[in-house]
Amino acid sequence: MLVQLGLLAGSLLVLTLGAEGLVRGSASLAKRMGVSSFFIGLTIVGFGTSTPELATSVTAAIRGSADIAVGNVIGSNICNIALILGVASLICPIALKLDLVRRETFIVIAVACVPWIALTSGGRLERWHGAAMLAGLLVYLWLGYVRGRRDAQREAAAAAERELEHELGLDKPGPMTRPLVCVAMVLAGLALLVGGSYLLVSSASEIARSLGISELVIGLTIVAVGTSAPELFTSVVAAMRGQPDLAVGNVLGSNVFNILGILGITCLATPQDVSRQVLWFDVPVMLAASLACLPIMLSGARISRAEGAVLLFGYGLYVAGLFTVVGGWFGEG
């Protein structure tokens, strides 16, 4: 048991380091290739902070652990809103730009309903479902790219580029900006993510079996929180540095990518059976958390410490319910 806990902790560290290396290396390469800052932020950085979820879910799916594969995605989205935004706003109340937040929040609410398409095929997400999700992600990225090229957003894009360069240390010449070093960082990041995801799935499964806890609960909690570490780190640091757009945008963008991208790729790798608990409890909780963003984010154009505390309290209730009564309701605990 202690060995498995050690492997679990080690895998979370490896995943975080892998994501960091992938983000830094990819962003530096994109910078040298002349890719726009908006495109970097929307694709490379957004993908990079979600690669732990991607690697873990795909690995779990291939190994036949559908509960961990699907639970990781749903649990990460709940964690992103309730835990990460809650912690970030407790550290520093988050001011918001209403026009940007309103659009992204409605998209997050819409994608929260996507897992329910499994109801059309007997509780199973087929490969064509995954293809449809990826198609939706491409449309989302394209529309975002088009919006980013509008004249009114050029100044914001330039500021985002400067901020991104500063955050990644690309505004100062050095060995970390050399092409070969960047390629090495990308490859090392990918290797760490693959190895870390394998350790995470293996150790989490063993812990679940030894404690008599379902793999679904482990995927929704331990694995989900662990693979959300990059988002947590980014949003907390952004809140501490007074960068609300980065803190909120990181969470909302990650939620869209988790469902359309990660769940889509996972279903393409192998069709996924979605348990009754996920469909009738966890997805509704994810939708409720997404809907909660509307009144919270539009009340005074800020997320206050009190609202952050409410989010954290709600997440605590959700986790407590998973480990106590919910599994028994659905006969899966």
- pLDDT for res 296: 75
- 85-136: pLDDT as tens digits: 898 888 888 776 666 677 778 899 999 999 999 998 999 999 999 999 999 9
- Specify the pTM: 0.80
2-324 — its CATH code?
1.20.1420.30
pLDDT tens digits for range 298-308? 666 678 889 89
Q: Are 290 and 143 in contact (CB under 8 A)?
A: no
CA distance 19 to 191: 10
Give the C-alpha separation, 53 to 229, whole Å: 10
pLDDT band at 214 (very low <50, low <70, confident <90, very high): confident
Tell me the torsion sign for CA atoms 259, 262, 263, 267: positive
Predicted local distance difference test score (pLDDT) of residue 76:
93
